[in-house]
A and B are shown apart, each in its own frame.
Chain A
């Protein structure tokens, strides 16, 4: 299989996971958040300076439909990460 084909399959899989499967992710607190709550330092967390980002907490602000909201966040995240990482690794690869 060509590298190009593997990358294509990987990108489609990533888009699928971020856009659709993400809706079914566990909403239980993540390991760190869970520990912070149990042990008692969760209250020291401060809101992020980027908390007002339209995609904060993996949802599009103002969109009621949760499936659509997290899906859009996932797609934007995948595309943005792709632009930065493919750009970066193209710049630094051995020539």
Chain B
């Protein structure tokens, strides 16, 4: 039994492009530190701490996907909807840094690449999609969880698109981009189902006991109780 390596290793993407994404990700983490200061209320802060821990634990559980591959939670959507987009960016970033430094999962030079696709793209992407779907769906619990499901599902192929973009800019292997694009988005369109299930179950559990703690629900005036 071996937990597969989950994130982008060193070597896939050239050093200059890795550095470029380190700078971009660094900028977003800076924005997240400022943003979280404004969004993170004292009563929600412990929940933000928990979010990172929960995501770390859940990422150890690779679930089998058809055709001999596996997937795992990214957690960006979960974090964004539960504790807010900026705190969410920070929570996923903490997980990725611990994994790269202690578990050799995700290359050290690839840290900016990984933070960009999972902490920035998946988390902020899921958040804006969630807000969009919240406007479309009914303002009740079912509508809320449907918005959560679709946003979290889409965050996975969005991340895969992000990797394809990084590969287009700095992939070290001479491979035509359409092959990488089709394979990445194809596989991750299936993995997204797992992301949506775990995210909906978790958000729904917190919603049931303390809906006031769910950041994505805090702007909702109507009752979310069944």
Taking chain A's interface residues, is the majority helix, strand, or loop, or is none over half, making it mixed?
Answer: helix
Does the CB pair B102–A76 fall under 8 Å? Answer: yes
A63 contacts B by Cβ under 8 Å: no
State which residues 43-95 of A face B: CB under 8 Å.
Answer: 43-51, 53, 55-59, 66, 70, 73-74, 76-78, 80-82, 84-86, 88-90, 92-95
Tell which of B33, B39, B105 touches A58, judged by Cβ atoms closer than 8 Å.
B105
Q: What size tier do the contact residues of chain B reach?
A: 35 or more
Q: What size tier do the contact residues of chain A reach?
A: 35 or more
B65 contacts A by Cβ under 8 Å: yes
Known contacts A29-B69, A57-B104; is-contact A82 B53 (Cβ 8 Å)? yes
Residues of B with C-beta under 8 A to A46: 9-11, 107
Counting chain A CB atoms within 10 Å of each CB, the highest count among B42, B49, B54, B87 belongs to B49
Tell which of B58, B64, B175 touches A41, judged by Cβ atoms closer than 8 Å.
B175
Segment with Cβ contacts to A, from B20-28, B121-129, B182-190, B218-226? B182-190
Does the CB pair B187–A35 fall under 8 Å? Answer: yes
Does the CB pair A86–B56 fall under 8 Å? Answer: no
User: How does the 8 Å CB contact mask read for B80-96 relative to A, with 1 for contact and 0 for none?
Assistant: 00000001001100110
